[in-house]
Structure 1
Amino acid sequence: MNARGALAILRNELSRFFRTAFGSILSPVLTTSLYLVVFGAAIGSRMDPSQFGGSSYGAFIVPGLLMLTLLSESTSNSSFGIYMPRFTGAIYELLSAPVGVAETLLGFVGAAVLKSLIISGIIMVTALLFVDYTIAHPILAFGYIILVASAFSLFGFILGIWADGFEKLQIVPLLILTPLTFLGGTFYSVKVLAEPWQTITQFNPIFYLINGLRWTFTGYSDVPIGLAFGMTVGFIALCITVIAVIFRTGWRLRG
């Protein structure tokens, strides 16, 4: 394990993040705050808490909004981090350096995870200004946020290798992840839906992630919590396998 190599990549990625910290942090925090004002404060007072496991509507949507930001930021930060060396040609220096797959992942993906954790922490503090919420299982919540951030940072790493233009970097987060998150129960419980929408929603993988995080916050979930955690771990294993194959074959990295 080349710890110095992994640390160098990590430090470089974090320095880029802090150079643009104002824009990187302000945008997701402001967007989440607007959702909390409109849905949590304005509409939430008219909602029946019995529909949301006894929690207020504002507290119910906090995990969903946090997941919305977490998925978007983890994917975007990681994909952009690996895409830029490919775009500038610096990837060849990385490939020729004594740095393996593990060190590369620790550097790029680790930095993306840390960025997502910083933004998530700021959002949770900001949410307290608009919504009165508590975290039922704080240790599990922290662990699950790390799991989800790791899973989608790995996914973003694959996306950054696959993309051959800046437009493709935005396709998956904007046209796939964001709609799936909105349709995965961010603002509602699946139990309020009529059939066949209840069944259709259960084919949305983001639905299980949102419910996993919601359970750690409120103790309420529409699905078994073990299933949500299992799907997240399985997705991490799948992404690591794909990345290992990419580095072994040199797909999109060489030539």
Structure 2
Amino acid sequence: MNLNAVLTIYLSEMRRFFRTITQSFVSPVLSTSLYFVVFGAAIGSRIDQVEGVSYGAFIVPGLIMLSVMTQATSNASFGIYFPKFIGTIYELLSAPINFLEIVAGYVGAAATKALFIGVIILVTAYFFVDLEIQHPFAMMGFLILTCISFSLLGFIIGIWAGNFEQLQLIPLLVITPLVFLGGSFYSITMLPPAWQTVTLFNPVVYLISGFRWSFFGTADVGIGVSLLAIALFTAACLGFIGWIFKTGWRIRQ
């Protein structure tokens, strides 16, 4: 693998991120604080505990997942769409680098940005609730895997998108609703049995459940099922990206 090519793409994307570091830092802190005020104070005052955990602490994994999934998808999609929009992607495709190195550079940068946001939200949460992470290594593992997998999804969206509006279409109309309906702010055991069954068809449930298990040791679905779900999702994204570069779909057409 051409590490110099990967590093060049990675650093180029990261420089764009650090040019707006204030916005990148302040925005998640303010939005997280707002969620804690609305959900933690207003709703949390009416809900004592969920699965033995205070409601304010219970929503922390969901808040992190919400921001990480949307940020990873948006950063990766814009990162690859912009060179396609201005035409510099052809220079990239004609360079002596393969598609894995291109993907590693763009996805690595988007995953790093999303991880940065996730850590900021986690630190902010400590100012509002008493939080103890039972499995810190598992928590970081789930967080990193989620950043990578949704950055891969964002890369696919960036290749597919034909304009800037379409870049936000899936994050806003698909991913965000799935996260809200995937148990990010409640346990699916609180739903009626019929809706519990329906919710299990939401793939985001398995990611949030596994991530919450790393915090509190409780989960709506088995930890093994969560790991399998994220592994299959990552593999599917990699396979689809490989097909994109093999056929030139939405790149050379």
TM-score, structure 2 normalization: 0.97
Distance in 1 separating the partners of 2:72 and 2:183: 20
The aligned residue for residue 204 of structure 1 is: 202
Amino acid at match of 2:8: A
Amino acid at match of 1:207: V
**Which of 51, 70, 73 pairs up with 2:71?**
73
Amino acid at match of 2:63: L
Please say if 1:145 is aligned against 2:133: no
Please say if 1:172 is aligned against 2:170: yes
Distance in 2 separating the partners of 1:43 and 1:200: 25
The aligned residue for residue 181 of structure 2 is: 183
Contact 2:28–2:120 (CA<8 Å) still a contact in 1?
Answer: no
Contact 1:37–1:130 (CA<8 Å) still a contact in 2?
Answer: no
**Structure 1: where are the runs of 5+ without partners?**
none
1:41 Cα deviation after fit? 3.1
**Which of 90, 93, 99 pairs up with 1:92?**
90
Deviations 1:100-120 (A, max 9, x none): 111111100000011011111
Deviations 1:123-169 (A, max 9, x none): 11111111111111000000110001110000000000000100000
The aligned residue for residue 155 of structure 1 is: 153
Distance in 1 separating the partners of 2:30 and 2:98: 38
Distance in 2 separating the partners of 1:241 and 1:123: 31
1:27 Cα deviation after fit? 2.2
Q: What do you get for the CA RMSD once the two structures are aligned?
A: 1.0
Distance in 1 separating the partners of 2:45 and 2:136: 26
Deviations 1:188-234 (A, max 9, x none): 11111113211111111111111111000111101111101110011
The aligned residue for residue 131 of structure 2 is: 133
Deviations 1:51-81 (A, max 9, x none): x221111111000111000100000000000
Among the aligned pairs, what percent are the same residue? 57
Distance in 2 separating the partners of 1:86 and 1:110: 18
The aligned residue for residue 11 of structure 1 is: 11
1:32 Cα deviation after fit? 1.8
The aligned residue for residue 29 of structure 2 is: 29
TM-score, structure 1 normalization: 0.97
Amino acid at match of 1:238: A
How many pairs does the alignment contain?
Answer: 253
**Mean Cα displacement is larger for which, 183-192 or 72-81?**
183-192
